[in-house]
Amino acid sequence: MQDLRQDLSSVGDLVSTLEDNEMAREREMLRQEIICHQEQKDNLRDQAEDLENRTAAGTCDLFEHVSVKGFVSRVSKKEKEIEYR
């Protein structure tokens, strides 16, 4: 009877360990996803700042290249024209 209790206790410990490991894996996956989203957000912010700086300096149009249904068009704010290819 004592051996059965020890075996049940050991099984309970193993189940608890497996559950802890699974939760740790899920936490790590979520942490990695958060890091990825933060990096994407930082990259978008950097791109927006770069475009804003270039636009303010007059080195680019507000809209440089826009893809519309498979056609590449160039939109020039200064010349107010659209080129389709």
The pLDDT of residue 59 is: 64
Q: Look at residue 13 in the predicted model and tell me its pLDDT.
A: 87
Every domain of the chain and the residues it spans: 2-60
pTM here is 0.52
CA 21 to chain centre: 25
How far is residue 84 CA from its own chain's centroid?
Answer: 32
pLDDT value, residue 74: 52
Alpha-carbon distance 8 to 40, whole Å? Answer: 48
User: What is the pLDDT, as a whole number, of residue 2?
Assistant: 77
DSSP 18-43: HHHHHHHHHHHHHHHHHHHHHHHHHH
As a whole number, mean pLDDT of residues 72-78 equals 51
> Which has the closest alpha carbon to 68: 84, 81, 79?
84
8-62 confidence digits (pLDDT tens)? 788 888 888 999 999 999 999 999 999 999 998 888 888 888 887 877 777 665 5
pLDDT of residue 76: 52
